[in-house]
Amino acid sequence: MKQFDFFEPTDKALRNLPEGFTYEPELITVAQEQSLVSRIRDLPFREFQFHQFLAKRRTVSFGWHYDYSGRQLQKADAIPEFLLRLRTRVARFAKLEPEAFQHVLVTEYGPDTGIGWHRDKAVFGEVVGVSLLTPCVLRFRRKENEKWQRANVAVAPRSAYHLSGPARIVWEHSILRVDKLRYAITFRNLREE
């Protein structure tokens, strides 16, 4: 796992990354990625609906589903066994118990698809994303006085990133459009009241 040093960085891009961001460039092997993708392709994806709008990306949720119209969590199908095995690896990376991640969102990004600026909904706590097939650019921004502070991270296939603390709460993030099919598996724990 790579924990970025925010005080003595050697690269300007690394200097700007949010506190609470960690990155693991090779969380899984090529064979594990291929196995995951073969299972993911059979999932019951639906176009992502945000209020009355349909996004280009397609998603499927397990454990819990966030209903944007009702602005609440709803129970979803149980997390499949093949994602539970990945959840164990993700939890080790995030230094949490596997059971802490009660929500899994699998997202299919077709060519020319990304996701705009956002913070994950407040009902969720820490976030770990696993990237499959195609590299992407994960962007961060936060308003500081009248200017935006920004940072970009090249996210490789088979890698994982963890958002906690300010990286999760203070900073917004987005994913630039990809040029080929990409899958993302996002694990979230629920925020304690």
Structural domains of the chain, ranges and CATH numbers in brackets: 19-190 (2.60.120.590)
pTM for the predicted model, two decimal places: 0.88
pLDDT by residue (tens digit) across 19-65?
Answer: 999 999 999 999 999 999 999 999 999 876 654 566 678 999 999 88
pLDDT by residue (tens digit) across 130-162?
Answer: 999 999 999 999 998 889 999 999 999 999 999
Closest CA to 188 of 169, 163, 170: 163
User: How many other β-carbons are positioned within 10 Å of the β-carbon of residue 148?
Assistant: 10
